Amino acid sequence: MHLALFIIFGLMCLGGAVNLLLQRHPINSALSLIVVMSSLAVLYLLLGAEFLALAQIIVYSGAIMVLFVFVIMLLNAGEEERTHGSRAAYLAGIPGVMALFAVLTSTFFTLRTSFGSARLGGFLVTTQDLSRVLFRNLLLPFEVTSILILVAILGAVVLAGKER
> What's phi and psi for 90, nearest 5 deg?
-75, -45
By CB under 8 A, what part of segment 3-42 binds other proteins?
A: 3-4, 6, 10, 13-14, 17-18, 20-21, 26, 29-30, 33, 36-37, 40
CB of 81 to other proteins, least distance (A): 5
Burial of 56 (0-12, 13-18, 19+ CB in 10 A): buried
Q: Which of 86, 3, 1, 73 is nearest to 31 (CA)?
A: 73
- Judge whether 56 and 33 are in contact, CB under 8 Å: no
Residue of 35, 54, 57, 72 interacting with other proteins (CB under 8 A): 72
By CB under 8 A, what part of segment 104-163 binds other proteins?
A: 104-105, 108-109, 111-112, 115-119, 122-123, 125, 129-130, 133-134, 138, 141, 145, 148-149, 151-153, 155-160, 162
By CB under 8 A, what part of segment 44-63 binds other proteins?
A: 44, 46-49, 51-52, 55-56, 59-60, 63
CB of 95 to other proteins, least distance (A): 11
With the C-alpha atoms ordered 69, 71, 76, 79, is the resulting torsion angle positive or negative?
negative
Residues paired with residue 49 on neighbouring β-strands, in sequence order: 125
